[in-house]
Structure 1
């Protein structure tokens, strides 16, 4: 891996061109000065972005560039777009050509971050089934980026972050029936260690506090509702505390996200996908960011999907896209300062 060069811009991938990604990136550039966003460039899509911007009534100046070295000069007056990748603006009409464009943009943007030409990577929302049809063999973009960085998929940790809450799902895209067998002392310890290191390095939290959720209702209620807490989760917490990590729990999940509890921790490590994502989306849907921890590069993404049904209508909020770009820039600054 090559460290990002000082002052390097952020690389943004298009996402599926039939979804809301392109229009929200256009909106983010139009609000960049007010939102305090670091300079960024979109990989591909000059014609696509122009059409997407017009659908929102934006008079978007676009400047094709041949290198990210041009971004600093171009960004204050136009949206820099790198390369010749492009496609038609057909909101709500996903097809294989669009999926191929999304994949090509993702591959190129990731390569820029891995090479150090970009300070961070922000990925637009994709449709996994559409990408699979054009040869994408990963569960999601997180696993793709991890492989590009030479990191094992299980060591790329998904954190959802918003203004009011940060959560990490211990298990992600698996059936709920499989979760109890997947919860292990080793997995909890590995995820928590990666989270603690990343929160200190990229988020400036010197001594991260990690609240670990129970799997069962009422934290198992002394074994009457399950024994995973006593058998697995509590021993993992004890081991983490012995390692010097401020971990607490297992906390009953029906209480730990209450307002008076959220101030007691910096991130909640949850046992399964919906346990982590429901509270985050309930509190911070329009400003939630998906951050991949444990990578040698910085990668963020808006925490929403392609929203094909409202693409091109102007109804999609750019809040999460703006938050993802802002968070990528902030993390890049902190990481550069640590050397």
Structure 2
């Protein structure tokens, strides 16, 4: 691809009190990024300049007002689009700040709307702080829910994806999607439905095909210990999950019977499965982050746009110290570029 045909990828700055500005600064100038896409930082340009100085980079920042004229900026400049009226230049490192939360929300929503309009090909999001987000006036808990609202989609799933560098054995990596998202453990059984489980299995299958896996093997987690032990520990496996598996198989998906998560996740990491449908957040996250914490990528499935992010948080404890590792961000951008190339238009 030539530079003009590479996908335009937005790097949202996230919460400026965290490591987001350092991550997007490091990523925007990295060869792994510029070789697969045309990055545009979405955030405050003065914060970006400070972040570039923090990492010892002297490249200029070109502030752009419209994404469709970004190509007129100087060739060596880091492009920055600031769609938020909130001034975050005085936000301190590692602090919960309502203005940082509001600006992070503004960056995300504007990038999503631009992607829906076709002026962006993908969004890669730096971390935000959920409490700062709430203090800034957003009632939604995180990226996934905000993007679902902006895009008008109710059937979305959070995917955690680890490539081969994340020490998983499957040749196309391992993707783990979750039927329920950011919610309490106590609420999970009541939120599970056969239709939601089927949709998650379909999303896992479709995602892994886009990542180059021709015939994904999808492992389906049980909810209860020992997969319920014939109803002794719960009946969700027989009542909800098994019917979902049967329906997915009718669609031609290679889905397993409900398997206890402690056994399934190990088998998946060792290469027996290409994807996993987990019933709740920690059921999938803990196992995959044990083997791929620095390199795992979050992907929001079920949206009409491409969105990925590194799997870690804002890391307030090391914010603005020049110590943030950029590997997860780079992997997220590469995944976004690949998904943008295979997106149905």
TM-score, normalised relative to structure 2: 0.87
Alignment-derived partner of residue 323 in structure 1: 331
Aligned length in residues: 330
The answer to whether 1:197 aligns with 2:199 is no
2:95 maps to what in 1? 93
Shift of 1:37: 3.6
Question: Which of 163, 166, 169 is 2:175 aligned to?
Answer: 166
Which residue matches 1:143? 145
Q: Tell me how far 1:296 sits from its aligned partner.
A: 0.8
- Report deviation, 1:75: 8.2
Q: 2:265 aligns with which of 251, 257, 266?
A: 257
SS in 1 for 2:322: coil
Q: Deviations over 1:189-239 (max 9, x none)?
A: 122123323433x32333332110111222223333333222322222122
Output the CA distance in 1 between the equivalents of 2:15 and 2:323.
17
Secondary structure class of the residue paired with 1:258 = helix
Are the counterparts in 2 of residues 17 and 94 from structure 1 also a CA contact under 8 Å?
no
CA contact (8 A) 2:160 2:311 kept: yes
CA deviations over 1:97-126 (Å, ceiling 9, x no partner): 222222221222111111100001122211
Spell out the pairing of 1:256-275 with structure 2 (5 A cutoff): 256-258=264-266, 262-275=270-283
- SS of 2:47's equivalent in the other structure is helix
Shift of 1:35: 7.5
Q: Counterpart of 1:104?
A: 106
Q: State how 1:12-161 maps to structure 2 within 5 Å.
A: 12-33=11-32, 36-71=35-70, 74=73, 77-83=76-82, 85=84, 87-88=88-89, 90-152=92-154, 155-161=155-161
Secondary structure of residue in 1 paired with 2:159: strand
Residue 43 to residue 195, structure 1, CA distance change in 2 (3 Å): same
Once the two structures are TM-superposed, the CA of residue 76 in structure 1 deviates from its matched residue by: 5.6
**1:39–1:75: 8 Å Cα contact kept in structure 2?**
no
What is the SS of the residue equivalent to 1:286?
Answer: coil
Structure 1 partner of 2:225: 217
How far apart, in 1, do the equivalents of 2:341 and 2:240 lie? 38
| Unaligned runs of at least 5 residues, structure 1 | none
Indicate the SS of the match to 2:128.
Answer: coil
Q: 2:256 matched to which residue of 1? A: 248
- What's the CA shift for 1:71? 4.4
How high is the TM-score relative to the length of structure 1?
0.89
Within 1, Cα distance between the matches of 2:43 and 2:261? Answer: 42
Query: Which residue does the alignment assign to 2:171?
Result: none
RMSD: 2.4
